Amino acid sequence: MDLHFDDRFVRELPADPRTDARRRQVLGACHSAVMPTPVAAPRLLACTRDLAAELGIPPEVQDGDDFAAVMGGNQLWPGMRPYAACYGGHQFGNWAGQLGDGRAITLGELVTPSGARAELQLKGAGPTPYSRQGDGRAVLRSSLREYACSEAMHHLGVPTTRALSLVATGEDVVRDMLYDGHPAAEPGAVVCRVAPTFLRFGNYEIFTSRGDRDTLRTLLDHTIRHHFTQLAPDLGAPGPDAYAAWYREVCERTATMVVGWMRVGFVHGVMNTDNMSVLGLTIDYGPYGWIDDFDPNWTPNTTDAGTRRYRFGQQPQVAAWNLAQLGRAILPVVPGDPAAAGAALEAGLDAYVAAFERQQAAMMAAKLGLGQLRDGDDPRGDVALVDDLLALLAAVPTDMTIFYRLLARVPTEAPIDDRALLEHVRPAYYDAIDGRVTSPAGDPGRMVAWLRRWIARVSEDGVPDAVRRARMDAVNPKYVLRNYLAQLAIDDATKGDLGTLDALMDTLRRPYDEQPDRERFFGKRPDWARNRVGCSMLSCSS
């Protein structure tokens, strides 16, 4: 096999002079050399074949013992120079100091057959200088969740890091899952994730927090030269306006990512600045969750239950706050007097707001099958149509994914009576939840009235039902990684049965297609899953 690794990140950026894994503050360096700690019995649980092919890893290698050994951290391929990256971050709004790759180890940067770069990074590969109190390991349940969700998001068309493999380690890991004083041994696993780079906002913040402008500038130049090539022609040094232009680009990419989350009902759960990719990729799948009944106030993260900082509906605002932290971090190296530099960065944040609003409007129009939203201030206009729907969905527990799929099937070309109209969307409603009125029978008039407005509006566009349905289906997924489905796959995988994971992954490769033999993955969250740990409540313990 002929895989070409190029250690560009390691070669071009300042290294930690020490090479042991003793926990420490690492100053003036972007990375520390560290080897994965071998595991007892690496066993391949899942491999993403199409990604492996893209990377140039042939099928016979994917099926060989070496593959599990490399992806479990027991072996290296020639040219790999493993390292852990140094970064800091704001966690839940507070500066947390040095964090770094505490259990992630990049094996190397692969040059793919098409000439692209792909960082192969193991998560759960053992301690690094950045492990703090942690053991550097990851449990099967969280690794499977990261593996499955990365790929689900990719096929949904939401920017994300990818996942190449899931390897069982054959070792136990001890976790206190609910932080309630009941540590227990759980099976361990390692995910190999893939991205052009895993650089986060926190990689830049750490140097500013230490007054280390030189390293900050070196890292920024590296980032722009290799990952934002349009801003640095001919691989030369970025020009004077490059930093502000880069920041603006990060802002716009972040807007696209968050609009993608809002479209499919994804809640990241831990939007700390160390979990924000400068490429605008969804990164670090931890206590994330998927919206079942549409509730903008929902957060899957038990650690966030108090303030709900990272709740579904607040993600656009939190992204802006995180971007402001990134802007503050690069301010000291933006050329010009501080006022001008500040204004240049302010323009980047404005670009975030503009990009978000524009894309959010286009996204909602597409979800409703409209060409575009019209009549911004008209109370009977499209903006009101959208706002009223979101209020309705939140008032009466309604499954978000199912609702939009059913809406696409409401006939608009022939007269329909109220009862028949309501029957079309009825399957999206949950039974009683916490005393809230549930079935549309609770207040059928409001939904019927809204559906009638929608029918009138789409009729104006004059698009045939069948055509509009196909367009709506292309943005409203039928299959998402519902929280309880991930848990079922975990339960079975823990018992040694990978059938559910395989079937789920296969289904999620075509999330917008009807798959009649996979209707079971379209179902509403069952009652047993509503308050079950792992299904609606997740801790950061992973």
473 binds ligand AMP (CB under 6 A): no
Toward Mg ion, which CB reaches closer, 150 or 275? Answer: 275
Minimum Å gap between C-beta 114 and ligand AMP is 31
Among candidates 30, 36, 26, 25, which has minimal Cα distance to 7?
30
Q: Which is nearer to ligand AMP, 125 or 408 (CB)?
A: 125
**Taking CA 375 as the corner, what is the angle to CA 369 and CA 378, rounded to the nearest 5 degrees?**
120
In whole angstroms, the minimum distance from the beta carbon of 102 to Mg ion comes to 8
Closest CA to 369 of 294, 258, 288, 476: 476
CA atoms of 14 and 12, how far apart (whole Å): 7
Select 151 or 284, whichever has its Cβ closest to Mg ion: 284
Segment near ligand AMP (CB under 6 A), from 218-226, 268-276, 465-473, 499-507?
268-276
Helix/strand/coil for 108: strand
Least Å distance between CB 145 and ligand AMP?
A: 12
Are the CB atoms for 319 and 271 separated by under 8 Å? yes
Q: What residues line the site for Mg ion (CB under 5 A)?
A: 275, 284
Tokens of 538: 């997740």
Q: Which does 270 bind (CB under 5 to 8 A by kind): Mg ion, ligand AMP, none?
A: ligand AMP
CB nearer to ligand AMP: give 134 or 464: 134
Of 37 and 277, the one with the shorter C-beta distance to Mg ion is 277
Residue number with CB closer to ligand AMP (167 or 394): 167
User: d(Cα 109, Cα 116) in Å, to the nearest integer?
Assistant: 10
Q: How far apart are CA 406 and CA 248, in angstroms?
A: 38
> Residue 307 CB, nearest distance to ligand AMP (Å)?
17
Identify the residue among 59, 134, 335, 376 touching ligand AMP (CB under 6 A). 134
Quick check: 274 binds ligand AMP (CB under 6 A)? yes
Q: What burial letters (b/e) apply to 19-29, b meaning 16+ CB within 10 Å? A: eebeeeebeeb
Minimum CB distance to ligand AMP smaller for 286 or for 511: 286
Residue 300 binds: one of Mg ion, ligand AMP, none (C-beta under 5 to 8 A by kind)? none
Distance of CA 413 to CAs 235, 388, 451, 456, 468, Å? Answer: 57, 23, 13, 10, 12
Rounded to a whole number of angstroms, the minimum distance from the CB of residue 366 to Mg ion is: 31
Contacts of 339 (CB under 8 A, 6+ apart): none
Distance CA 483, CA 400 (A): 14
Which of Mg ion, ligand AMP, none does 140 bind, CB closer than 5 to 8 A by kind? none
Task: Give me the residue label for tokens 């108090």.
Answer: 306
Do residues 215 and 29 make contact, with C-beta atoms less than 8 angstroms apart?
yes
As a whole number of angstroms, the distance between CA 401 and CA 403 comes to 6
Of 126-134, 163-171, 316-324, 428-436, which segment contacts ligand AMP by CB under 6 A?
126-134
Q: CB under 5 to 8 A by kind: which of Mg ion, ligand AMP, none does 465 bind?
A: none
From the candidates 16, 101, 212, 274, give the one annotated as an active-site residue: 274
Q: Least separation, in Å, of the C-beta of 427 and ligand AMP?
A: 37
Interface residue with ligand AMP, options 32, 131, 161, 539 (CB under 6 A): 131
**Residue 253: which H helix or E strand, with range?**
helix 242-264
Instruction: Scan for tokens 């929608």, then name that residue.
Output: 454
345 binds ligand AMP (CB under 6 A): no
Q: Any contact of residue 275 with ligand AMP (CB under 6 A)?
A: yes
Choose among 114, 83, 332, 98: nearest CA to 212. Answer: 332
Rounded Cα gap, residues 433 and 525, in angstroms: 12
**Could you tell me the two tokens for 512?**
């917008």
Binding span for ligand AMP by CB under 6 A among 134-142, 160-168, 184-192, 360-368: 134-142
- State the angle between helix axes of 338-367 and 465-473 in degrees (0 to 180), rounded to the nearest 10: 140
- The residue range among 124-132, 146-154, 352-360, 378-386 that interacts with ligand AMP, by the rule CB under 6 A, is 124-132
Cα separation, 514 vs 479, in Å, equals 9
Applying the rule CB under 6 A, the residues between 72 and 111 that interact with ligand AMP are: 99-103
For the packed helices 242-264 and 140-156, what is the interaxial angle rounded to 10 degrees? 100
Residue 167 φ then ψ, to 5°: -125, 130
Indicate whether 135 belongs to the interface with ligand AMP (CB under 6 A): yes
8 Å CB contact between 192 and 163:
yes
Q: How far is the CB of 72 from ligand AMP (least distance, A)?
A: 16
- For position 215 contacting ligand AMP by CB under 6 A, the verdict is no
> 282-321 mask for ligand AMP (x: CB under 6 A)?
--x-x-----------------------------------
Residue 137 partner contact from Mg ion, ligand AMP, none using kind-dependent CB cut-offs of 5 to 8 Å: ligand AMP
* 238: contact with ligand AMP by CB under 6 A: no
Is 274 a catalytic site residue?
yes
Known catalytic residues are: 274
Q: Which residues bind ligand AMP (CB under 6 A)?
A: 99-103, 130-132, 134-137, 270, 274-275, 284, 286, 540
